[in-house]
Structure 1
Amino acid sequence: MFVDRRPGRLLSLVGLLLAGALVLAGCSGSGGDQPGSGSTAPSGTPGAFPATVTHKFGSTTVPAAPQRVVSLGYTDQDAILALGVVPVAVREFTGNKPSATWDWAQDELQGQQPQVLPVGEVGTEAIAALRPDLIVGISAGLTQEQYDTYSKIAPTIAQPAGFVDYGTPWQDATRLTGQALGKPAEAEQLIRDLEAKFAQVKAANPGLQGKSVAGVRPSTADNASFFVWGSQDLRARFFQALGMTIPQEFDHLAGSNFYATISTEEISKLDPVDSIVLITASDAETQAFQNLPGYSGLTPVQQGHAFTPTPEQSAAMSFSSVLSLPALLDTLPADMNAKLA
């Protein structure tokens, strides 16, 4: 089952995602056999450190190759793992997978078992106990106060400026992570390779070009509304990279958020789109959405242009990481193209 478990201000939006020059207070420690006791550190090229990373709250300097990396963001572990580093701790996001890591990234764990941090508030004591020398919180939706607090423990990387919280594109997340780990060249190579795959898949699925898409799911707040994602959402970015479009009305309704809330009485707002993608937490949720009054009469539904990704596809879209996206590109676009072409 694909269940999004982000807390606080985002937990109230749980279905939307379906579907801290810093003073070092932390210190490096020797590894061990217990989960979360050690990590595979980056090899860092000569001259890569000290590394300075610019983000939403200014800049962070990482003085030396980090040995104990905490993946505080909900999906940050993927870019860290892709660059050959195993975090000492990973934040739970969705799916209750071993080490909070989905199948597409399991091999990169190198047999290690990072400690799993809770979805809820992660206290400074818990982070300090891990003795990190780097905290990566790109997808943590950090506030200035949280960033300042975590930064007293270890150099902390926050989300870049210019994007809504939880809306950092995978390219930027990978690039910032590579800079922090002293592996900027490796990060750029990962970005080039995946962008090339996107271009290949886009060219192979011309039926998607210019087609509008609505990514939706039931509201987690009540039974009288549903969520639709705006163009700053990671899932929306996935479709846009394939040549699809997000209706401007949804962006207008979303405002400064990555999603919009629409009354079920206004489900007809989905009628003009070329395709609908249901990203839900369970089969029951999918069925409930399909049973909404007016859903079966929507033009894209009657045309067979309503899609329900598998749980792994839904998770891969919600992670939208350098590790999760390749497998997704091999499956979902072709399925959609076959019907939309």
Structure 2
Amino acid sequence: MRWFMPCLINASPFQWRKLYRILKFGVLVIVSSLWVTACINHSSIPNQRSLDSSPAENCRLIHHAMGDTCVPANPQRVVVWGGTELDPVLALGVKPIAGSLNVLSYVKQKLPPQQWQGIVDIDGPQGPNLEYLLELRPDLILGHDSRIGPVYTQLSQIAPTVLDGSDDWKSTFRLFAETLNKTDQAQQVMDNYNTRINRFKAEMHHRLPFTISSVEVRADAIILDTSDSFALAVIQEAGLSLSPALNRYTSQTWALSKERLNELESDAMFLRTWGGITAERQAAQSQLKQLQTDPLWSQLQVVQQGKVYEVGDYFQGGGPITANLILDDLFKYLLSQS
């Protein structure tokens, strides 16, 4: 507790709001867990153990962040808890019965309607609705331990639950492909992605080294895509480099003050606003307009040269679909305009 108190005392308004959201979600998780446990104990819905009278014959054993889980050979009623976790599932040609459909706007803005229409949104104002999840009777739940690890026991009583624990999107994709029995499809998806990466590098090689900065404007902060972020992982795999001044930042120290806007100097910059709920999105758009009138912003050479490109919230994705959307922007802005 001693180490925690100075952090609270010196916390910025952005950090306070983030802490508040975490604490609020924690309370929700505890209450929801108690509710789900009570419902399961009094429900006629069979859990995964009673569904599989002969586990060795009717399911496959999958090793994941929370241990080993026996999953259906070909699951038909898949639920995906988490916005970024939806990407690898859709990329495999699987349409979940439910998921966090509205967390990232790219799903409805960039993907064909047939890929997402009919997916029930399980998110409520305070997060995914466990009560509704129980009613859906899924045969498989997918997610990440950082989001739903605390309620894994309750979820696994509703249906076999597999949680990824990696920060590497390719590792997540492999795990979900194995769980969904779609490893052949996954290999084809990655072969296509690697082909595009190699094509971009071949066409871009004469302009290297080429530096990139990538930033997200929120209502109360300017957030960097750091070298260990999803977007920069794709960008660096494509042969580009993070602006040198930004190498010292990590996912734990990603906020940039206006006084340090000069650190964004690069050969090109990708810019987006936070795409959360409507009120936050509007506030972020307002903040961006203010930023663009700030002299510290206007004097950046990358701004003056017109090398700032507005992109979408797929930059904070986590799978093959969003990785390819980032590649689309690299081709569009860095090659077609060169």
| TM-score of the two chains, using structure 2 as the length reference | 0.71
Choose 1 or 2 for highest CA Rg: 2
Match of 2:320 in 1: 322
Say if 1:80 and 1:86, in contact at 8 Å, map to a contact too: yes
1:278 aligns with 2:271: yes
2:254 & 2:122 partners in 1: Cα distance? Answer: 29
Taking every aligned residue pair, what percent have the same amino acid on both sides? 24
1:76 aligns with 2:85: yes
Say if 1:49 and 1:182, in contact at 8 Å, map to a contact too: no
Say if 1:28 and 1:132, in contact at 8 Å, map to a contact too: no
1:227 & 1:56 partners in 2: Cα distance? Answer: 28
Match of 2:277 in 1: none
- Residue 101 of structure 1 and its aligned partner are, at CA, apart by 4.2
Match of 2:183 in 1: 184
Match of 2:141 in 1: 135
Match of 1:36 in 2: none
- Residue 62 of structure 1 and its aligned partner are, at CA, apart by 1.1
Rate the CA distance shift 1:55–1:101 in 2: closer, same or farther, 3 A.
farther
Match of 1:150 in 2: 155
More helix by share: 2
| TM-score of the two chains, using structure 1 as the length reference | 0.71
Which has the bigger relative contact order, CA under 8 A and spacing at least 6?
Answer: 1
1:48 & 1:202 partners in 2: Cα distance? Answer: 46
Match of 1:91 in 2: 100
Q: Secondary structure at the match of 2:215?
A: strand
Unaligned 5+ residue runs, structure 2?
Answer: 1-17, 26-32, 34-45, 275-281
- Residue 74 of structure 1 and its aligned partner are, at CA, apart by 0.6
1:74-223 counterparts in 2 under 5 A?
74-94=83-103, 101-109=108-116, 113-118=118-123, 120-138=126-144, 141-161=146-166, 163=167, 168-169=168-169, 171-206=170-205, 209-220=208-219, 222=220
Q: Deviations over 1:105-148 (max 9, x none)?
A: 43335xx612112264224322211111111114x742531333
Match of 2:11 in 1: none
Say if 1:229 and 1:250, in contact at 8 Å, map to a contact too: no
Q: Deviations over 1:49-106 (max 9, x none)?
A: 7333333333433143212100112133333233232211021344668xx6444243
Unaligned 5+ residue runs, structure 1?
Answer: 1-5, 13-19, 30-46
2:255 pairs with one of 255, 261, 283: 261
Match of 2:248 in 1: 252
- Residue 9 of structure 1 and its aligned partner are, at CA, apart by 4.2
Q: Deviations over 1:292-329 (max 9, x none)?
A: 331111132233322223xxxx1333335323444553
Say if 2:245 and 2:264, in contact at 8 Å, map to a contact too: no
Q: How many residues align?
A: 288
- Residue 260 of structure 1 and its aligned partner are, at CA, apart by 0.5
Q: Secondary structure at the match of 1:135?
A: strand
Q: Secondary structure at the match of 2:222?
A: strand
